[in-house]
Structure 1
Amino acid sequence: MTDKRLKNYDDLIKEEPDLSLLNRAYALLSTNFERATSQLAELADRGSILSMIYLGEAYQRSQPKNLDAAEKWYRKAYENGAAMGLFALGLLHFQKNNYAEAETLFQEGAENDDELSMFWLAKIYAHNDNFDKNRYKIRLLLEKSASKGNVSAKSALAFSFMKGRYGLGNIPKGIWLYLSSLLEAAKIAIKNPDDPRLWH
């Protein structure tokens, strides 16, 4: 998409044209979907990248789901340089079994130091019993993602160690990592059970 650094959440907050209206529109999604999405679309036209992401989430979770609209808004956020947009678009493709497209997006995210993209790229490398072929790529991605706070990556790495996939000598390390990941996951879940670092 671009050779520029992807924008994180803090960057998007700083660039937000009307944070107060954004928060009101987001809160309105649960009670008046049409009005909320209309307000978010207006904000998106004014350059609000967070509105684009919220619209993608809204259409992905709506009943019935509108995945075409979700993809449209995630892609707009991604094209405007948002790491959250890239990850959401990649995850949507992963869930639709479009693994080639998801891999391309997660690869870009990983190259931009996004820990969520690293974890899901590792999942793609392990897909369809390809673990042995990609074992060292997977380990590197999981270790880096875990070091940046992704609990799901830490747990996945722990299971790989405990299963002896990286040698019997790493089994005790796997047990320690697994117990540590459980504690970290509990702390995160108390604050926010929907935290993306818990997704797997």
Structure 2
Amino acid sequence: MEKYFESTDKSFNDYDNKKELMELNNLGYCYQYGIEKKKDGFKAFKLYLKAAEGGNSDAQNNLGYCYQNGIGVTKDKKKAFECYLKAANEDDLHAQYNLGICYQNGIGINKDNKKAFEWYLKSAKGEYSPAQNILGNFYQNEIGMEKDLEQEKAFELYKIAAEKDHYMSQCNLGILYENGNGTEKDLKQASFEYLKKSAEKGYSDAQFELGYYYYYGIGTKKDLSMAVYWFSKAAENGCKTALHNLGECYELGNGVDKNEIKAFEYYKKSAKYGDMDAKFILGYCYVNGIGTEINKEKGFKLYDEAAGNSDYKEYEEEIVDNLDEVKYWYQKAAKNDNKYALYKLGEFYQYGNGVGQNEMRAFVFYKKSADQGFIDAQYKLGDIYSKGTEIEINKEKAFELYELAAEGGNVNAQRSLASLYEKGEGTEQSKEKAIYWYEKAIENGCPKSQGLLNVLTQ
């Protein structure tokens, strides 16, 4: 490395050949990032400028980055765009990608998703992995498209970039495998493994997803301590959603010693970042003294914020007469479609806790929560369809909901799904699938399933 510096660290003279221009650009990079040189943004900028003036497209791209971020020069987004454009027109793949970012986000130019797509496409055709990843995102979400595009194209692009070890693409590919978008659904071999690869490279989104997989036993054996490990990693790397999950783990003692003070702190951090569910639970902590001193005034204020100050005129008299303070505020939050509150309200009405027992009203609240993807509500709704008194029994609907909740990791749904497969209710009878789901339920801590499995396999 010293020899390299001896050959390139010279005054700003004219550089005539491509090798010298490349070395000049590389030296600028060393000054920019402090690689065996004292970090110096101004020197980096000057070196990039000299190399760019000589026609080096890498330096032209780096010059754009300096203008965009104010490295060694006053920030100037318009000049950044011009530098990227010049380098992109010289077929610099990184510059083409950066130009796409400029068009997508309105950096130095008006936003234009169609042009962003065009530049990402040029870069992706040159096998530049970040462009392949973001182009996959464009296809997946139909950004800048004039017509509907199928998920297969997104899958292809993510896979190409993922195989080059691009961590974001590995995460995105894992999610496509998880949902069966653009490919066959594959939770174990594909989704879990790609998420793991991405998570191990430090990508917080993948770390959160991997924690979720371990928490619910999706694509792998349920392991709450590993869930806490990956949620913690995700939180350390800036994933705000993971803070809420860590709060829940500490509150319930899942994968870690129960610690309500830590739970409260995590909920507090999550609420600070605008997580409405965490804000609601934080209010509950204040009202009930969970991990903190009781402060009902603060708790009710947080409930109010979580509810979005919504009206609750419907059923107001019943609410005030029949619900205690906590349940009253559950009702208010539910008016803003808070999925956790909706689920709790379903429980109040199903079991008659503080209100008159009313399966129909429980059904309404569970459905609203289930429609937002709340797994426990999906199970409860399936149960009502399977055994309901006021709601007409519908085993096919029950099967669909149990399957959703079971795949999401709800142990009761796994047991119930196994039972439907065993009896052939709501689906074709399958002893093999019944055994599979009983075993999943046993793995996830349902001893009752062991007895049912023993009877089935006798």
Q: TM-score, normalised by structure 2?
A: 0.30
Alignment partners' CA distance in 2, 1:171 and 1:131: 29
1:141 equivalent among 383, 397, 401: 401
- Residue equivalent to 2:412: 152
1:82 aligns with 2:338: yes
Paired amino acid for 1:69: E
Structure 2's unaligned 5+ residue stretches are 1-240, 246-269, 308-321, 447-458
Post-superposition Cα deviations, 1:160-193, rounded to whole Å, max 9, x if no partner, equal 223443578412311221111111237xxxxxxx
> In structure 2, what residue type is equivalent to 1:28?
G
Q: Distance in 1 between matches of 2:287 and 2:445?
A: 27
* CA deviations over 1:77-105 (Å, ceiling 9, x no partner): 21233111111111111111310101111
CA distance 1:73–1:167, change in 2 (3 Å): closer
3-state DSSP class of the match of 1:185?
coil
Segments of 5+ residues of structure 1 without an aligned counterpart are 1-7, 50-65, 187-200
Equivalent AA in structure 2 for residue 80 of structure 1: N
What amino acid does structure 1 have at the position aligned with 2:299?
L
1:122 counterpart letter in structure 2 = G
Work out the CA distance in 1 between the residues paired with 2:301 and 2:382.
Answer: 37
Taking the aligned partners of 2:390 and 2:360, their CA distance within structure 1 comes to 14
Structure 1 position 91 matched with structure 2 position 351: no
Which whole-Å CA distance do the structure 2 matches of 1:85 and 1:70 have between them?
11
2:324 and 2:433 map into 1 onto residues whose CA distance is 44
AA partner of residue 289 (structure 2): L
The aligned residue for residue 165 of structure 1 is 425
Which structure shows the bigger proportion of residues in helix conformation?
Answer: 1
* Paired position in structure 2 for 1:181: 441
Q: Deviations over 1:107-137 (max 9, x none)?
A: 2222222222211111111225799941101
1:39: how far off? 3.4
The one-letter code of the counterpart of 1:120 is K
**Alpha-carbon distance in structure 2 between the residues aligned to 1:133 and 1:83:** 24
Q: 5 Å matches for 1:124-135? A: 124-128=384-388, 133-135=393-395
Whether 2:375 is the aligned partner of 1:115: answer yes
Please tell me whether the aligned partners of residues 161 and 174 of structure 1 are also in contact (alpha carbons under 8 angstroms): yes
Bigger RCO (CA 8 Å, 6+ sep):
1
Deviations 1:134-157 (A, max 9, x none): 110110111111122222211111
Equivalent residue for 1:36, pick from 288, 295, 309: 295
Asked whether the equivalents of residues 422 and 434 of structure 2 are also in contact (C-alpha less than 8 Å), the reply is yes
What is the distance in 1 between the residues matched to 2:404 and 2:397?
Answer: 11
TM-score (norm 1): 0.62
Aligned counterpart for 2:274 among listed residues 1, 4, 15: 15
Measured in 2, the distance between the counterparts of 1:183 and 1:37 equals 40
Residue type matched to 2:327 in 1? E
User: What secondary structure does 1:74 align onto?
Assistant: helix
Q: Taking structure 1 as reference, are residues 131 and 81 closer, same or farther at Cα in structure 2, changes over 3 Å only?
A: closer
* Contact 1:29–1:36 (8 Å) recurs in 2: no
Amino acid of the structure 1 residue aligned with 2:363: E
Query: Number of residue pairs matched?
Result: 158
